[in-house]
Amino acid sequence: MQDRLQLVEGDITTLDVDAIVNAAKSSLLGGGGVDGAIHRAAGKELVAECATLGGCQTGQAKITSGYRLKARHVIHTVGPIFGAEDGDEDALLASCYRESLKLAVAHGLKTIAFPSISTGAYGFPMDRAARIAVGEVRAFLEANPSIEKVLLVCFGKESLRIHQEALAIES
Ligand code: APR
């Protein structure tokens, strides 16, 4: 089980996986942070396809092609804004991971990489978010053998350290 969930440090836009997950805004029309990096790397066809999807609710996920990315698909999910979801932040963040993984299974995808959703502009404490991510992914992998590998992408050494701690606590 451990090896189906791995941490990797670096830039999610460089990964050769079936899908990378984007921490998007509800309009799905691009932004800063990892959203900006993914749209820059994918090219302008990505936002054109996103514009046909009619947005995305917090905690939900939608899938597009990956275009110029190495990843075949982008799964766009909208994380909770910390302190602005009436106390539902933890549940909504868990839903982002679960709904993204459900989409990957529905599309027959086997390898998927997540950024640390909501821990940038949306202000979710990273240690708490990492434990939710590890717990949710572990539970999903247990019940869904078709997913071969889930990567949690840590952007920088501090993020990697925090996620390593979360892995140890949640094991
Ligand atoms: N690869 C991997 N992780 C990255 C990258 C990258 N290239 N760039 C940033 N990150 C990390 C950040 O360091 C942070 O830990 O992704 C995490 C999520 O941060 P944000 O991108 O700010 O996403 P989020 O906090 O979910 O806020 C989403 O910001 O960019 C806008 O349109 C987006 O409105 C939405 C909001």
- The count of domains in the chain is 1
Residue 33 alpha carbon, nearest atom of ligand 1: 21
75-121 residue pLDDT tens: 999 999 999 999 999 999 999 999 999 999 999 999 999 999 999 99
18-41: per-residue pLDDT in tens?
A: 999 999 999 999 999 999 999 999
pLDDT band at 67 (very low <50, low <70, confident <90, very high): very high
Gap between the Cα atoms of 77 and 75, Å rounded: 6
150 DSSP β-pair partners = 5, 112
Q: Note down the domain range covering 58.
A: 2-169
Whether residue 25 has its Cβ less than 6 Å from ligand 1: yes
26's tokens: 């509800």
> Ligand 1: which atom is nearest the Cα of residue 153?
2
pTM for the full model?
Answer: 0.98
CATH number reported for the structural domain that contains residue 165 in this entry: 3.40.220.10
Ligand 1 mean position, distance from CA 16 (Å): 19
Backbone angles phi, psi at 123, to 5 degrees: 70, 15
Look up residue 119 and give its two tokens. Answer: 């821990």
Q: Does any ligand 1 atom lie closer than 6 A to the CB of residue 120? A: yes
DSSP H helical ranges for the chain: 33-42, 44-50, 89-106, 126-143, 157-170
> Which of 7, 34, 154, when mutated, tests ligand 1's pocket best, judged by the most ligand atoms within 8 Å of its CB?
34
For the chain, the C-alpha Rg in angstroms (whole number) is 14
Residue pair 111/69 in contact (Cβ under 8 Å)? The answer is no
